[in-house]
Structure formats: structure tokens, C-alpha cells
Amino acid sequence: MNFGHIENTEINNKFCFVCGDDIIKNNIVYYKINDIWKIYDFCQLCTTELLKRKWFDFIKNIKKADCEKELKALLNKKIPNKLTIDSTINSQEIDELYWNDNFISSHLIIPNHIDNSALNKKLNLISIKINENLIFDYLNEIKLLFEEFNL
């Protein structure tokens, strides 16, 4: 496998930021951004869990937002589509993953019944109302939207 340019290939003393396991040849994950491959800070098992969980975590955080400021901060970001370099929504999205001689999509796992684009558009409309300081029941509007999408 020719990765082209790989930065930070030293795996000695590297550990997974989630589970704490050492990063070794059997669990190493590479990620690509702008045609540069780097070693990911998460092992294969935790990366797989992040792919499954990060979309749901974002939705859960919107659901549990209990003030306008918190909701505004979340809605100013779009629902994530891909893993990011540090698994937060504020950092750069990963183009592609690689482990065990396989290229892996960095797209987050989203329920089949969800049209993520349509959900993002409707959340954006709520975000616009909040950012324009319109008076409305934003918590109820979020609740109704999530009911519409069966979330």
C-alpha cells in the first residue's frame, strides 16, 4: 500500500485517546486530509464506535439543550457528516480512514430513515430564528422537529 506522504509515523508511546490502549500495528488507524495521511489518535475499536456514535451524540446534545445559548452554539454547526481529527464538531473533517489493509469511509453512521440534508435545513431555519433574536418556543420547535424525524 502506497500512502504517498505520511506524517507522524512513529507509534512508540502513542495511545488511544478514548480507551487508553497503546496504538500498535494491530489496531492502528490512519486518516487522510488533503492527501496527507497521519496516524489517528484513536484505535480501530474506538474509531468504529465513534463512527457509530458521533451523529447520535450531536442529536442528543441538541435534545438536551436547556437554554438558548447552548442551543444556538450547537445549531450554528451543522450536524456532522464525517469524523473529525479530534472527534469534536469544531475541527477539520477527515477525508478517509485506513486500517487492516482497507480503506474505510469517514462518514458517520446515520439511521437509514433520516434525510440528514433535510434535517440540517430545518435545524438551520431554527438557528436563523434564534440568531435573529426572534421570540418563539425554540425548545418546543426542536421537539416537534425531532418527532417529525422520529428521533
Looking at residue 69, its pLDDT comes to: 85
Instruction: Report, in angstroms and rounded to the nearest whole number, the Rg of the chain calculated over CA atoms.
Output: 18
Q: How many domains does the chain have?
A: 1
pLDDT grade for 11, boundaries at 50, 70 and 90: low
State the pLDDT confidence band at 105, using cuts at 50, 70 and 90: very high
pLDDT cut 70: percent of the chain above it: 92
Strand order in the sheet with 30-33: 5-7, 36-39, 30-33, 96-99, 102-105
In the chain, what percentage of residues exceed pLDDT 90? Answer: 58
CA distance 142 to 147: 9
Domain range for 96: 5-148
Q: Which of 50-54, 88-92, 104-108, 137-141 has the lowest mean pLDDT?
A: 88-92
| pLDDT, average across residues 77-98 | 87
Q: How confident is the model at residue 79 (pLDDT cuts 50, 70, 90)?
A: confident
The residue among 85, 81, 84 whose CA lies nearest residue 8 is 85
- Please state, in angstroms and rounded to a whole number, the distance separating the CA atoms of residues 68 and 50: 27
- The cell for 66 is 436547556
Q: In whole angstroms, what is the distance from residue 120 CA to residue 151 CA?
A: 14
Nearest to 107 by CA among 126, 117, 88, 94: 94
Task: Give me the pLDDT at residue 3, please.
Answer: 55
Residue 2 has pLDDT above 80, yes or no: no
Tell me: pLDDT of 90 over 80: no
Rounded Cα–Cα distance for residues 26 and 11 (Å): 11
Bridge partners, 102 (sequence order)? 99
Over residues 7-22, the mean pLDDT reads 78
